[in-house]
Amino acid sequence: MINKARLEKLLVALEGVKPRDFDMNNYVHSCGTPSCVLGYFASRTDLQAKFALTKDRWGSTFCALRGSDDCVDYDDPEVRKYFGIDSAQAEHLFGAGPENEDATPAIMRRKIRKFIDKNGAM
């Protein structure tokens, strides 16, 4: 069962994000700033305490569990469990495939809202 409250926080994380600052193909831009839905969510410590954008010893930024040096992918079991979604749903919401290739923050907000409305409550 989806975790509606956590999924709705994705909508908050995307508020005010400019299309030029958004790219579903990467968690972060080369400068280390957030890029995709999960990247923006991980950067928001005011919304959650599970994920973080972390730098490795070479200076590359990636999405990780807070306090860990291990990269997490959008389809990681910890991500799926946190949001109460399965692998196909993770791909739909966070994947960089053709369906999200040219997505803007507004498109992803509508997509997430529709997903929440369709898939029920906590």
Most confident of 8-22, 26-40, 67-81: 8-22
What are the phi and psi torsion angles at 95 (to 5°)? -70, 155
Stretch among 32-36, 42-46, 117-121 having the lowest mean pLDDT: 117-121
What letter represents residue 51's amino acid?
F
Q: Indicate the average pLDDT of the chain.
A: 93
- Cβ atoms of residues 51 and 61 within 8 Å: no
Sign of CA dihedral 50, 79, 76, 72: negative
Taking Cα atoms as reference points, which of 105, 99, 113 lies closest to residue 22?
A: 105
